Structure 1
Amino acid sequence: MTDSPDAPIIEITDLDAGYLRNGKVAPAVQGVSLRVRPGEIVALVGESGSGKSTTAHALVGLLPDTGRVTGGSIRVAGVDVASATEKVVRSLRGSTVGLIPQDPMVGLNPTQRIGDQVAEAVRLRGVPRQRVADEVIGVLRKAGLDDPQHRVEHYPHELSGGQRQRVLIAIALAGEPEVIIADEPTSALDVTVQARILDHLETLVRDSGTALVIITHDLAVAADRADRVVVMRHGRVVETGTTAKILDDSENSYTRRLVASAPTLAHGGQLRPRVPAPDPAEEPVAPIIELEAVTKHFDARRGGRVLALDGVSLRVTPGRTHAVVGESGSGKTTALRIAMGLTKPTSGAVRFDGVDIAGLSWRRSRPLRRRFQLVHQNPFASLDPRFTVRESVLEPLVSFRVGTRADRRARAAELLDQVALPRTFLDRLPAELSGGQRQRVAIARALVLQPEVVLLDEPVSALDAQVQEQILDLLTELQQRLGLTYLFVSHDLAVVAGIAHTVSVFDNGRVVESGATATVFREPASDYTQRLLAAIPGRRRFDRTERAFS
């Protein structure tokens, strides 16, 4: 426990940490100092690989086996974590400090029901056995998980990415800790749920005095929530100060670039679609991807069926980007999987370049698969941990027997250049990369076959704003140069505004609104679309300013 209400709950002084590589410690964090007081919200922001997550994991003694703290001190509630025994550090987890990890599939046990995993955290708080079940449902509800009475029986693979993230948040809240370390806590969540989760975490801080450290690449999230912002780059703190100071009067050029890269912050809280709307006078073009009245049911765990898609129709025009947006569980990813033939619809037609792919055999569909590629949502699960970056990128070329060995190696190096990764990463394993770096490798792998269509499932959700901008610019440039078509699934409307010509808004498996992105975002006809737009991170700050001067 802290000695006084004003004493820091977290006190890091001159922290040096890194990872063993070839017998030496490669530095990841150098000279980092940070103090967080009870009831304070502090945001650590910076690009992927800046040392944010290393700092967070060092705080709770959860660096990987290759991680080393080589200098400085880390004190949590008065305990020096860097020099404490594992038993002492373990006693701090849950009750004193709670961690919300970035990756829900790594943070959850795939063999246990989620109710059992949350219950373990509840029991550590000393809750009587007869009250544990009610506490579990209550904390899942607080974390924003829908229908918690039934979700407790599910396994992690039966939930969406956003739902799994909410379970991790519930586990962190279950111990009622003095400080919560949230490592990219909402990167997998749609904007409305993101707002509810952050509202809850903020209320917890204000009401109970719990401190909150938000590790995020999204400066707009920090702008809305944080009392103070700490900006990191290349493992060092480059600037720290109040949120207003950092956003409005920064002294550091890197910080100013971060602000300029956040769309809502750069444009006064407004979205400005930068892709021109299709010209209505253009001759109609046959779609390369078409879903017509598609319905999809899944079998429920206890009998019956769950309706995932209900009469969905959408058209993706060659050479354009069509975005699908909506809350977690709205059917976005199911529609994408059906569009590329990975999931069969219950009814309706699915056509790729005029060919109905719903009933094709593997042999007949394989030639088509070279023409479209998928970028997965989760960079941690989409790369084989045993493959080097080079092997991961080259895997599609090997599978389709494209090019000589020399051609493939040259192509791998070229793709890393395009996704803004150093060529020295070619021989690294996924465990040696940050989440954002892994996602860039996944994007490179999808582009290696030069497909006509790329289907992207939350492709930049793990990337910081500057790298997001680079990737979106890359995708736009490739589209213009090669005539690529994109079906782009995202919960981030600011990202969609930067790349999509047209958009379909999904709600509970139905399309509630569709049209040119600029028109839908400027003049939303649906109440649901209006709620999505109102919840975009970065707008809250400007709303407060407007109210202050009204």
Structure 2
Amino acid sequence: MTAPEARTRAVAPIVEISGLSAGYLTGGSVVGAVDDVSLSVRPGEIVALVGESGSGKSTTAHAVIGLLPDNARIIGGSIRVGGVEIVGAREKTVRSLRGATVGLIPQDPMVGLNPTRPIGTQVAEAVRLRGIRGPAVDVEVLGILRTAGLDDPEHHVHRYPHELSGGQRQRVLIAIALAGRPDLIIADEPTSALDVTVQARILDHLESLVRESGIALLIITHDLAVAADRADRVIVMRQGRIVESGTPAQILVAPVDAYTRRLIAAAPALANGGVPAPHFRETGAEDLPAILEIDAVSKQFRATRRGRRVVALDEVSLRVPAGRTHAVVGESGSGKSTLLRLAMGLEPPTSGAVRFDGTDLAGLSWRRQRPLRRRFQLVQQNPYAALDPRFTVRDSVIEPLVSYRIGSRAERRARAGELLDAVALPRTALDRLPDELSGGQRQRVAIARALSLRPDLVLLDEPVSALDVSVQEQILELLLDLQRRFGLAYLFVSHDLSVIAKIAHTVSVLDRGKVVEAGSVADVFGDPQDIRTQRLLAAIPGRRAVSGREPSTLERAAQ
């Protein structure tokens, strides 16, 4: 054992899990979720728990903080937090450790924050748990928000969650986790829905808190690139068991388990030194007719009662050739969502033209748009919210056919089976409800639904951001296959440049409503000319894992 390893092991762990097995009571029996898991987290250390949905990583993390659902059962093993055994402990004992010893940053800021209360009030509640009262609470709240990386907290403290960006809301969750001055913070997928630059800033800040204060961080993530970038140790879970653990270098250079190798292969940034490798080198897009043209489009919104106007899009132009994929990338607030709404004809532009197959949508009434709208369809970001929970898969897939009164009942049922074949789902899924499907299966149903009217253009709004990396890979391969078979054109909106490199022929980079760079993916990603494109590329997870990172507090102490 080396001297650094000896010193690291000499530090008492904040959390020590030994032989943990747990499951969920379903139909009178316990279905296993975690099997014989052992791990520890020490002060000044960043540990990443990596795995796909259903791997057991969230069950393990929530067991540490005593937040498992009522139907959860701990079958065996030990969990010691700050030296206190919490398996079998009274709720009062476990509650005393929350906030004070272990803080939690949940995945979804809009679920983790109360939408009816100002953010300052929510942070103050966590501060008062430490016994602080009176004016000192307000001072502490502002200090914690500033520590959490929220700029100008005096301006934001009275605002509600919906008035903040995704990155700002995530910083508020960090502030609430820090309010109890914990020894360990558990971050459950803290950046999965954020743009790469915001993601990088959030992770940079969390890492700096660990390095400077000596607290510990346990990151729960499905993204091996994020884990390899940030962690001192990576623990890989599959089907409830730990299949591999080690330093990022050990995991990336010499992975032992085949599952780990699959996760690495599904993270393009890790395979290419942090630089997205374009799938298409030659596009030929300029020689093809455009199915969608956005010509010098601007869009303004009235932001206040006094009539002040906000420019969401400013002279944006792009074209989507028939049978090809054009991607739009940019940070939050760049105008991506507004552009997508205009492309679908849901919003009229303030100026400019949106032409589908040569017809200006802005010049048509909704009734006259309806025949055209059969030819372009949308796949939404969240597969868990895109489908009606009361509809079977069959009902969801054929609903557009019913809306347009296409085919007889027998023909629609036959079409539903054909569509499931096209998206590689078994026909046995036709009678299932969405809550009986995984996230990847739901997204396949959403794609099948979009294909039901045989469109020429499919608009995809962050279609894989909520999915595990290996499932992302499957969905992207499916989209490429469907494009080859049916000649589909895609307008693909995403914040993930590695995904865009895999799927798109051409790309437009948006920043504050303007196109700052456009061209083939190979040209734009291979030789970015604009500083904003360079910034997006530099923020891709995986680059530091290859090029190296700062040593941890423990490593520096050992040196």
| TM-score of the aligned structures, taking structure 2 as reference length | 0.87
Whether 2:187 is the aligned partner of 1:191: answer: no
Who is 2:455 aligned against? 451
The Cα of 1:108 is off from its aligned counterpart by 2.5
Alpha-carbon RMSD across the aligned residues, in angstroms, is 3.1
Tell me the distance in 1 between the aligned counterparts of 2:64 and 2:441.
Answer: 23
The Cα of 1:366 is off from its aligned counterpart by 3.3
Give SS of 1:259's match. Answer: helix
Whether 2:36 is the aligned partner of 1:31: answer: yes
Q: C-alpha offsets along residues 510-540 of structure 1, whole Å, 9 cap, x if unaligned? A: 1111111110111111011111111111111
Superposition map of 1:113-512 within 5 A = 113-133=118-138, 135-145=140-150, 148-279=153-284, 283=287, 285-300=289-304, 304-358=308-362, 360-387=364-391, 391-402=395-406, 438-512=442-516
Whether 2:59 is the aligned partner of 1:54: answer: yes
Q: C-alpha offsets along residues 429-450 of structure 1, whole Å, 9 cap, x if unaligned? A: 6566665565555444434444
The Cα of 1:216 is off from its aligned counterpart by 1.1
Alpha carbons 2:24, 2:32 under 8 Å: kept: yes
Evaluate the alpha carbon distance shift between residue 50 and residue 510 of structure 1 in structure 2; reply closer, same or farther with a 3 A threshold: same
The Cα of 1:126 is off from its aligned counterpart by 4.0
Tell me the distance in 2 between the aligned counterparts of 1:302 and 1:174.
Answer: 38
Please say which of residues 448-457 and 474-483 is displaced more in the overlay: 448-457
Please say which of residues 488-497 and 423-432 is displaced more in the overlay: 423-432
Please say which of residues 268-277 and 479-488 is displaced more in the overlay: 268-277
Q: C-alpha offsets along residues 445-496 of structure 1, whole Å, 9 cap, x if unaligned? A: 4344443222222211122222211111111111111111111111111111
Whether 2:523 is the aligned partner of 1:519: answer: yes
Tell me the distance in 2 between the aligned counterparts of 1:29 and 1:418.
Answer: 35
Tell me the distance in 2 between the aligned counterparts of 1:148 and 1:458.
Answer: 30
Tell me the distance in 2 between the aligned counterparts of 1:372 and 1:453.
Answer: 5
Give SS of 1:91's match. Answer: helix
Evaluate the alpha carbon distance shift between residue 71 and residue 150 of structure 1 in structure 2; reply closer, same or farther with a 3 A threshold: same
Given residue 197 of structure 2, which amino acid in structure 1 is its aligned partner?
Answer: T
Given residue 84 of structure 2, which amino acid in structure 1 is its aligned partner?
Answer: V
Who is 1:72 aligned against? 77
Give SS of 1:189's match. Answer: coil
Who is 2:557 aligned against? none
Given residue 245 of structure 1, which amino acid in structure 2 is its aligned partner?
Answer: Q
Tell me the distance in 2 between the aligned counterparts of 1:539 and 1:102.
Answer: 23
Superposition map of 1:88-127 within 5 A = 88-127=93-132
The Cα of 1:111 is off from its aligned counterpart by 2.6
The Cα of 1:205 is off from its aligned counterpart by 1.1
Please say which of residues 289-298 and 38-47 is displaced more in the overlay: 289-298
Evaluate the alpha carbon distance shift between residue 223 and residue 293 of structure 1 in structure 2; reply closer, same or farther with a 3 A threshold: same
Q: C-alpha offsets along residues 28-71 of structure 1, whole Å, 9 cap, x if unaligned? A: 22222221112211111122222222222232232334433333
The Cα of 1:219 is off from its aligned counterpart by 0.9
Alpha carbons 1:97, 1:179 under 8 Å: kept: yes
Alpha carbons 1:17, 1:67 under 8 Å: kept: yes
Tell me the distance in 2 between the aligned counterparts of 1:36 and 1:200.
Answer: 19
Evaluate the alpha carbon distance shift between residue 516 and residue 465 of structure 1 in structure 2; reply closer, same or farther with a 3 A threshold: same
Evaluate the alpha carbon distance shift between residue 381 and residue 163 of structure 1 in structure 2; reply closer, same or farther with a 3 A threshold: farther
Given residue 227 of structure 2, which amino acid in structure 1 is its aligned partner?
Answer: A
Please say which of residues 418-427 and 47-56 is displaced more in the overlay: 418-427
Who is 1:14 aligned against? 19
Q: Percent identity?
A: 71
Evaluate the alpha carbon distance shift between residue 381 and residue 284 of structure 1 in structure 2; reply closer, same or farther with a 3 A threshold: closer
Q: C-alpha offsets along residues 354-397 of structure 1, whole Å, 9 cap, x if unaligned? A: 33323644433333333222222334443445555555555444
The Cα of 1:412 is off from its aligned counterpart by 5.5
Tell me the distance in 2 between the aligned counterparts of 1:66 and 1:388.
Answer: 26
Give SS of 2:490's match. Answer: strand
| TM-score of the aligned structures, taking structure 1 as reference length | 0.88
Whether 2:543 is the aligned partner of 1:539: answer: yes
Give SS of 1:288's match. Answer: strand
Alpha carbons 2:288, 2:322 under 8 Å: kept: no
